[in-house]
A and B are shown apart, each in its own frame.
Chain A
């Protein structure tokens, strides 16, 4: 299979996610500079973490309007899976490929720490490596990760099972103290209507190594690659 990681000016976790994909695929993904004319064949498109265009104006706003995103949107419309992590999630909401928006953290501070996530469904390409209700430990590293959508939208995505991950305690309970950024209904990751696009703030790609960050993120990539192969 072929994976493409889009690199915007200011992306900074493209190598982290490339390493995770390589470990699961056995071959490296293609890193595609945003200005390259051709995206090329891809069975999976990844928008990595970072600060695309400095996150000036709003996080992800300028990247979402860059020419390469028109192609990404066209591919997503044809059902090509698209994964946005952290800044990639922000870009996907700004591009209208995912519902909602990401506001500055309620703490008003950048936050880098390990959090617990509850996997809301194992029934998707992206969460196939997990069971529903499973609790995993992965890091976050963001300033604008406070998920917002109006009540109708929140109700709709919950009813349709489009919430992928929620912040929780070690025991899976949703409490205010286990919500690191003030996200509505503790939402850490959401799907689009066809569950072929996923955006999440946490970094499973920084939890694939027993020496650095643990291995709770490994099934994310293993499950995804297996589901796509």
Chain B
């Protein structure tokens, strides 16, 4: 089964890349952009077919490697 993992900086962690993107959007004339947060998107193909087991496994992957929980949050999406 296919999983999508979204990794974002935690609230409260400064995101200079997001700020730069927001600034650039404003300079291109896109009004009303309040905030931009930049993150990572990872696609994973799993042999596991049981959604609950897959989620447990993915959660562990996120905690141990994919996200640095000192600075990042993650969200898992199963397709």
Do A and B touch directly, given a CB cutoff of 8 Å in the complex?
A: yes
Query: Could you write out 7 A-B pairs with CB less than 8 Å apart?
Result: A65-B64, A100-B70, A106-B16, A107-B16, A108-B16, A148-B70, A148-B71
Q: Are B66 and A103 closer than 8 Å at their CB atoms?
A: no
Q: Mark B54-77, 1 if CB is under 8 A from A, else 0.
A: 000000000011101011000000
**Count of chain B residues with a beta carbon within 8 Å of a chain A beta carbon:** 12
5 closest Cβ pairs, A-B complex: A101-B70, A101-B71, A106-B16, A108-B16, A101-B68
User: Chain B residues near A103 (CB, 8 Å)?
Assistant: 13-14, 16, 71
| Set B13, B14, B17, B68: member contacting A61, Cβ < 8 A | B68
Does A29 touch B at the CB level, under 8 Å? Answer: no
Residues 27-79 of B at the A interface (beta carbon under 8 Å): 64-66, 68, 70-71
Does A124 touch B at the CB level, under 8 Å? Answer: no
Does B20 touch A at the CB level, under 8 Å? Answer: yes
Bound CA span A149–B14, Å: 11
Secondary structure dominating the interface of A: loop
State how many angstroms separate the Cβ of A136 from the closest Cβ of chain B.
28
Q: Are A104 and B16 closer than 8 Å at their CB atoms?
A: yes
Does A93 touch B at the CB level, under 8 Å? Answer: yes
State how many angstroms separate the Cβ of B9 from the closest Cβ of chain A.
8
User: Chain B residues near A101 (CB, 8 Å)?
Assistant: 68, 70-71
Does A129 touch B at the CB level, under 8 Å? Answer: no
Bound CA span A33–B14, Å: 36
Q: Are B13 and A148 closer than 8 Å at their CB atoms?
A: yes
Q: Are B68 and A106 closer than 8 Å at their CB atoms?
A: no
Q: Are A182 and B14 closer than 8 Å at their CB atoms?
A: yes
Does A30 touch B at the CB level, under 8 Å? Answer: no
Q: Are A57 and B71 closer than 8 Å at their CB atoms?
A: no
